[in-house]
Chains A and B, each alone.
Chain A
Amino acid sequence: MNAPVKPAAFGAATAVATPQAAPIIRFEQVGKTYPGRRGQAAVTALRDIDLTVPRGGVVGVIGRSGAGKSTLIRLVNGLERATAGRLLIEDEDVTGLDESGWRARRRRTGMIFQHFNLLSSRTVADNVALPLEIAGAKAEEIRRRVTELLALVGLDDKAGRYPAELSGGQKQRVGIARALATRPSILLCDEATSALDPETTGQILALLRKVNRELGLTILLITHEMQVIKEIADQVAVIEGGTIVEQGGAFDVLTRPQHPTTARFLESVTGVTLPDYLAHRLQAAPSPCSSAVVRVTFTGGNATAPVISRLGSTIGVDVNILAGRIDAIADRPFGQLLIGVPSEEPTVSAVLGALRSLELDAEVLGHVA
């Protein structure tokens, strides 16, 4: 087996870079503190948040529940107000905006929710029409726009149905159509796929990616699932205890996590673990006839080199593949491989040297007899 995947398999993916456009949302040292109730101490939900969302970008904020991500996303449409720092949206300082100013802003900011929040008393079409009614659009215009939107999300045939008659994925499509009705420039996604099964999640993320690319919509999403970040985000911020502990391009953060929280989130997504039957036999020291278990991490550029066959041909060593996973993050190949090579020296050193000379991360996890 060679190194992960040839770049051709990813098509033009490598050309898709992080958007370099001017920021559409900028948090500058933003904080949010809730006043204490009846003698209790004040609660700080967010502290010193610096975050920039480029126009047309997809930025994901990941954190556990209670980390402050819900508060963070709600600052962007004024459902929560910052108590410190400055927040700029579309070049407007919104820090001191009043409620009526926020209402105008919200009509240019779409939002979708974990539990969809559709009106049970309205049909699909009337749910999508709601923001247009709120904005005072004419009946004729509403009808035209609703038809357009339902076609966009692939629900033309459900216009007259009620939400209770739809599946979760269909409900979220209605949510997306509703959020896009007033042609917003920003879409906020509040755990938008957390109530959906993995397959439906994939479909909804594909739809979000489509509206991001086709409509140039900027997406800010919050999630507790690294899978979502991996599938759609081009930038990521990891939030814990109300502060951002790590942020950067999705590929860099996901392939070289610096913070333990990030690493923990990544375990389920990109981590490769030794199969149980081997893990039990793993020991620190080599023994006669044992194999050294080496973890090789492929990232971006070097992921295309035919590494394993080269080990065989250059140092003449037999390589045993134990486990592996090859993935795409932010449209770039990334993979991890666990291989077994004879434990004796100098073979192990030669293998590590060869791998490192290809700029691959390689580390010996232990030895199995």
Chain B
Amino acid sequence: MSPELIRLIADSTLDTLVMVAVAAGLGTLLGLPLGVFLATSKKGELFAAPAVNAVLGIVVNATRSTPFIILVVAIIPFTRLIAGTSIGTTAAIVPLTVAATPFIARLIEGAIREVDQGLIEAARALGATPVQIVRKVLIPEALPAITLGLTLAVVSLLGFSAMVGAVGGGGLGDLGIRYGYQRFMPDVMAIVVAVLIVLVQAVQTIGEALARRLNKRLRHA
């Protein structure tokens, strides 16, 4: 394998990592408050706003039900507005974030809904405000589950990031399609697949270890 090819693989891996990391970071930044709100705004809940909850729910579902490759193309004007271009690694971060945010929001909503209602009642009985309940009870208690959810989200984003190669997004997927498929270089394809497998394994292992560390429920005296 030529040094250029090795370089190409290294660069593509880096591109993928940057895309996934930035999209996951932005997606968490946007998805966390959205998820918390979805989990606490139904009737009778801390921030009860059933109408807003219903509308946001529909928006989230709509985004999640659009196949990613369609989403990438459909939001090109929006991508251009944000990134200034619709091609390349930076531009690819926009659709990745748009896809990651509702996904992460739902995962966080699920994690927070799993928190024992008794803890919310206890915090209310201590005089906590709704914001204090979210910050001091719901998020810390849901953290192990949120960590596992984010692990799942990052793994999904690795898959999505390979698809943005189809629209000139760069990264490992792009490399696999241009070299491995279009130039008939099966060795490149094999390496791309291998690198992706290693990345997914690494993310999964780290995520699970972190979640286990954060989970204080399974300890025994």
Contacts and interface: CB of A to CB of B under 8 A. Distances in A.
Interface residues of B, number: 25
B118 A117 contact: yes
Interface stretch (B121-129, B158-166, B175-183, B192-200): B121-129
B220 A164 contact: yes
Contacts of B137: 119
A135 interface: yes
B218 interface: yes
A107 interface: yes
A134 B128 CA distance: 6
A192 interface: no
A270 to B, nearest CB: 33
B219 A117 contact: no
Interface in B116-142: 116, 118-119, 121-129, 132, 136-137, 140-141
Contacts of B118: 113, 115, 117
A69 to B, nearest CB: 16
Interface string A147-172: 00000000000000111111100000
Interface residues of A, number: 32
Contacts of A118: 122
B62 interface: no
B1 interface: no
B7 interface: no
A182 B125 CA distance: 12
A117 B141 contact: no
Nearest to B218: A164
Given A113-B118, A134-B136, A165-B221, A120 B126 contact: no
A113 B118 CA distance: 9
B127 A135 contact: yes
A332 B128 CA distance: 41
B125 A119 contact: no
Sort A-B residue pairs by CB-CB distance and give the 4 closest, nearest first. Answer: A117-B122, A106-B127, A107-B127, A162-B216
B125 to A, nearest CB: 4
Contact of A113 (B122, B140, B218): B122
Given A113-B122, A115-B118, A120 B127 contact: no
A107 B118 CA distance: 18
A102 B127 CA distance: 8
A111 interface: yes
A341 to B, nearest CB: 55
A163 B125 CA distance: 19
A79 B125 contact: yes
Nearest to B217: A120
A49 to B, nearest CB: 20
A118 B121 CA distance: 11
15 contacts: A79-B125, A103-B129, A106-B126, A107-B127, A117-B118, A120-B141, A121-B141, A121-B143, A130-B126, A130-B136, A163-B216, A164-B218, A164-B219, A165-B219, A165-B221
Interface string A62-89: 0000000000000001010000000000
Nearest to B119: A117
B43 to A, nearest CB: 10
Contacts of B220: 164-165
B141 to A, nearest CB: 5
A187 to B, nearest CB: 11
Given A103-B129, A117-B118, A79 B124 contact: yes
Contacts of B128: 103, 134
Contacts of A107: 126-127
Nearest to A107: B127
Contacts of A106: 124-127
A158 to B, nearest CB: 10
Contact of B125 (A77, A166, A167): A77
A104 interface: yes
Given A119-B119, A120-B217, A121-B216, A111 B141 contact: no
Kindly name the residue among A111, A166, A188 whose own CB sees the greatest number of chain B CB atoms within 10 A. A111
Contacts of A104: 127
Contacts of B124: 79, 106
A133 interface: yes
Contacts of B123: 130, 134
A131 B143 contact: no
Contact of B116 (A109, A117, A131): A117
B140 A119 contact: yes
A113 B121 CA distance: 10
A122 interface: yes
Nearest to A136: B132
A121 B217 CA distance: 7
Given A103-B129, A117-B116, A131-B126, A79 B216 contact: no
Nearest to B144: A121
Given A79-B124, A119-B141, A162-B219, A134 B116 contact: no
Name the residue among A105, A121, A135, A166 with the largest chain B CB count within 10 angstroms.
A121
Contacts of A182: 126-127
Interface in A91-146: 103-107, 109, 111, 113, 115, 117-122, 130-131, 133-135
A188 B218 CA distance: 30
A187 B125 CA distance: 11
